[in-house]
Amino acid sequence: MTGVMTMKISLKSAVVVALFAVLAAAPAAAQTGTMDVAYQWTAPTTGSVVQHYVVEHSVDGGAWTQVAASVTGNSYTLAAVTGVSHRIRVAGVDAQGRQGPFSLPSDAYTPDAGAPGQPGKPIIF
């Protein structure tokens, strides 16, 4: 509850009326969100020239899901949800549309937003 409350207190010898400001902070939301995690890899040393890469992503060891179909460089930045484990794997695709095998998966990484930041300066109200 936020607002102003009036409280009437009766004592034997006097009546005191006081106004109190009531401020209720909203409960702190869980510190979840996303963090950018940058990955890079080397091009294959055998087979045809890679035109682009397909990138797949796995969360907490679950199923692989395609997150990018046409990455032209040897790097990818994933908007990774904090607090869960992420892995990616990549496969090269040549100019004829032939996809090679997927790489070994990246090491699992769990982004962490870190400790809470500094609160605001307390003020008198």
What was the pLDDT predicted at 31?
A: 53
In this structure, what token pair is assigned to residue 16? Answer: 């005191």
Q: How far apart are CA 92 and CA 78, in angstroms?
A: 18
Measured at the CA of 98, the angle between CA 104 and CA 62, to 5 degrees, comes to 35
- Runs of H (alpha helix) within the chain: none
**Nearest alpha carbon to residue 76 among 91, 95, 61:** 91
| pLDDT tens per residue, range 3-15 | 444 444 444 554 4
Residue 57: inside a domain, yes or no? yes
Residue 73: inside a domain, yes or no? yes
Fill in the DSSP letter of residue 12.
Answer: S
What was the pLDDT predicted at 26?
A: 38
pTM for the model stands at 0.69
Residue 81: inside a domain, yes or no? yes
Query: What percentage of the chain carries pLDDT values higher than 70?
Result: 74
| pLDDT tens per residue, range 14-57 | 444 444 333 333 334 445 699 999 999 999 999 999 999 999 99
> Which residues have C-beta within 8 Å of that of residue 28, sequence separation ≥ 6?
none
Confidence label for 113 from pLDDT (cuts 50, 70 and 90) = confident
Residue 4: inside a domain, yes or no? no
- CA 77: distance to chain centroid? 13
Structurally, how many domains does the chain consist of?
1
What was the pLDDT predicted at 12?
A: 53
Residue 66: inside a domain, yes or no? yes
Q: How far apart are CA 31 and CA 54, in angstroms?
A: 31
